[in-house]
Amino acid sequence: MMHFSALKLLKEGFSGQRGWHAQWRSAEPKPSYDAVIVGGGGHGLGAAYYLASEHRLTNVAVLERSWIGGGNTGRNTTIIRSNYLFDESAALYDHALKLWEHLSQVLNYNVMFSPRGVMMLAHTVHDEQIIKRHVHANRCNGVDNDWLTPEEAKAFCPALNIAQDIRYPVIGAALQRRGGTARHDAVAWGYARAADALGVDIIENCEVTDILRGADGAVEALQTSRGLIRARKVGVSTAGNTSVVMNKAGVRLPLESFPLQALVSEPLKPALPCVVMSNGIHAYISQSDKGELVIGAGTDAYVSYTQRGALHINTHTLEAICELFPCFRRVRMLRNWGGIVDVTPDRSPIIAKTSVPGLYVNCGWGTGGFKATPGSAHVFAWTIARDEPHPINAPFTIERFRDGYLIDEAAAAAVAH
Binding residues for another protein (CB under 8 A): 241, 243-244, 252-257, 301-306, 310-312, 342, 345, 401-403
Residue 67 or 305 with smaller CB distance to another protein: 305
Q: Considering the complex, what minimum distance in angstroms separates the CB of residue 168 from another protein?
A: 21
Q: Strand pairing of 227-236 and 219-224?
A: antiparallel
Residue 94 or 342 with smaller CB distance to another protein: 342
Q: Considering the complex, what minimum distance in angstroms separates the CB of residue 65 from another protein?
A: 10
Q: How far is CA 166 from CA 117, 123, 154, in A?
A: 25, 10, 16
Q: Considering the complex, what minimum distance in angstroms separates the CB of residue 403 from another protein?
A: 7
Q: Considering the complex, what minimum distance in angstroms separates the CB of residue 101 from another protein?
A: 35
CA distance 174 to 233: 42
Residue 23 or 397 with smaller CB distance to another protein: 397
CA distance 112 to 119: 20
| Of 106, 104, 80, 108, nearest in space to 94 by CA | 80
Q: Are 417 and 179 in contact (CB under 8 A)?
A: no
Residue 311 or 334 with smaller CB distance to another protein: 311
- Phi first, then psi: what are they for 73, rounded to 5°? -60, -35
Q: Are 157 and 273 in contact (CB under 8 A)?
A: yes
Residue 374 or 395 with smaller CB distance to another protein: 395
b vs e for 236-265, b when ≥16 Cβ sit within 10 Å of the residue's Cβ?
bbbbbbbbebbebbebebbbbbbbbbbbbb
Residue 108 or 304 with smaller CB distance to another protein: 304
Residue 201 or 409 with smaller CB distance to another protein: 409
Q: Considering the complex, what minimum distance in angstroms separates the CB of residue 259 from another protein?
A: 9
Residue 262 or 293 with smaller CB distance to another protein: 262
Ramachandran region, residue 229 (left: φ > 0; alpha: ψ -120 to 50; beta: rest)? beta
> 332 CB contacts (<8 Å, ≥6 apart)?
265, 266
CA distance 186 to 397: 30
Q: Considering the complex, what minimum distance in angstroms separates the CB of residue 353 from another protein?
A: 17
Bridge partners (DSSP) listed for residue 79? 181
Q: Considering the complex, what minimum distance in angstroms separates the CB of residue 241 from another protein?
A: 7
Q: Considering the complex, what minimum distance in angstroms separates the CB of residue 71 from another protein?
A: 14
